[in-house]
Amino acid sequence: MAPMFKNQSPQQLTFWASLSSSAAITILILVLSKLTGLFDLSWIALALVFGLVFVVSFLGNYFFIRYYIFRKIKLIYKIIHRHKLPTDFKADKVKMGDNIFDEIDEEVNQWARARTRELDELEKLATYRRQFIGDVSHELKTPIFNIQGFIHTLLDGAIDDPEVNIKYLKRAGKNIERLQAIVEDLETINKIESGQMILDLREFDIRELTDEVFADLELKARERKIKLTYKEGANQHFRVRADKESIRQVLINLVQNSIKYGREGGTTKVSFYDMASYILLEVSDNGIGVTPQDLPHVFDRFFRVDKSRSRDAGGTGLGLSIVKHIMEAHKQTINVRSTYGQGSTFGLTLEKA
């Protein structure tokens, strides 16, 4: 009988409950008449008794279910839908004849799953916020501490020493530039995330833009004897549609990283591949690479593969995070593959013009 009462509306449940109770009472009266012999009921009389009991039972059950159970169900239903449906939804539209038990069960399950996901996301955001504040504090503390030390040393008398004062002022200036770079990078990320950065999408030659980036970074590459070149067979000219200055920033960050972490005397190669509607651009180096445990975090804010080398080169630890945000703003992808000790390859897609 259990399957019979599944997927029933409140009105149907009232009917079955009344039918069951009426049948039970009628059978009880019939048994009593046979056992006691005090009265003898005909089948017509039993039918009338059954009908009368059914009507009374149906009215009683209907009243009970409608005013003590169904009203509570509608209240729950209304609360759930308040967060899921337009404001013109009316719980009064739900009638006794509607089958809402299964719907409510599914609604409650969906609501519970949604709340669990929201709580998980809030916990992740809280953890990320705590970590981010700690990272920012740590990154700002180092240059501020250095600047403080240089200035106090100069105030304590080193300002009168011509061999020390200029050197300390230059070091303080270098740390101020690092502070400025961190603040500017944080502002860039904030603009992208908040939607304040408006992309100026236009067509341009990605190979020509890469040539310009190579020219801008040639001096830095020469200092570490790193050759900037194109992969043979993948150096064609392609026209893409994107924000040119944002993509310039992406290329500068990727090529700078390849110079910074590349093996001295090594090579940085850029390659282009035609992917039908997109162009795949890859920047490869033969440097120190990234360990498997660090690979998922290379786009995290303030993450550094080699912290000492990054700080010596003036890195803020925000470059790759900015790169990822710019590509996401273009609705394009960026990924990295790396073998520790052999090098890394960053690949990104651009819309073909």
Contact (CB, 8 A) for 55 and 21? no
* pTM of the predicted model as reported, rounded to 2 decimal places: 0.56
Handedness of CA 312, 317, 318, 320 (dihedral sign): positive
Q: Kind of pairing, strands 278-285 and 267-275?
A: antiparallel
Q: What is the distance, to the nearest Å, from the Cα of residue 219 to the centroid of all Cα atoms in its chain?
A: 39
List the pLDDT tens digit at each of the 353 positions of the chain. Answer: 444 555 566 677 777 777 887 888 878 877 777 777 666 667 777 788 788 888 888 777 777 766 666 666 666 666 666 655 444 444 454 454 455 556 666 666 777 788 888 888 888 777 767 766 776 777 778 888 888 988 988 888 888 888 788 888 988 898 888 888 778 777 777 777 777 678 889 999 999 999 999 999 999 999 999 999 999 999 999 999 999 999 999 999 999 989 988 888 999 999 999 998 999 999 999 888 888 888 888 887 777 665 544 445 555 677 788 889 899 889 999 999 998 888 999 999 999 98
Q: How far apart are CA 78 and CA 103, in angstroms?
A: 12
Instruction: Provide the CATH topology of domain 201-351.
Output: Heat Shock Protein 90 (3.30.565)
Q: Work out the number of other CB atoms within 10 angstroms of the CB of residue 332.
A: 19
CA angle 52, 58, 59 (to 5 degrees): 95
Tell me the three state secondary structure of residue 323. helix
Alpha-carbon radius of gyration of the chain: 37
Tokens of 224: 């570490």
Fill in the amino acid letter for 63.
Answer: F
Q: Measuring CA to CA, how many Å separate 351 from each of 16, 153, 241, 275?
A: 64, 54, 6, 10
Per-residue pLDDT at 14: 73
What is the Cα–Cα distance from 208 to 200, expressed in whole angstroms?
Answer: 18
Q: What is the largest CA-CA distance in the chain?
A: 129
CA angle 139/142/146 to nearest 5° reads 150
SS (H, E, C) 50-107: HHHHHHHHHHHHHHHHHHHHHHHHHHHHHHHHHCCCCCCCCHHHCCCCCCCHHHHHHH
Q: CA-to-CA distance for 154 and 162, rounded, in angstroms?
A: 11
Report the pLDDT value the prediction gives residue 71, as an integer from 0 to 100: 65
Where in the chain do CATH 3.30.565.10 domains reside? 201-351
Q: What angle do CA 41, 44, 49 make, to 5 degrees?
A: 75
Q: CATH for 132-193?
A: 1.10.287.130
In the chain, residues under CATH classification 1.10.287.130 are 132-193
Q: What is the DSSP string of 165-203?
A: HHHHHHHHHHHHHHHHHHHHHHHHHHHHHTT-PPP-EEE
pLDDT of residue 99: 53
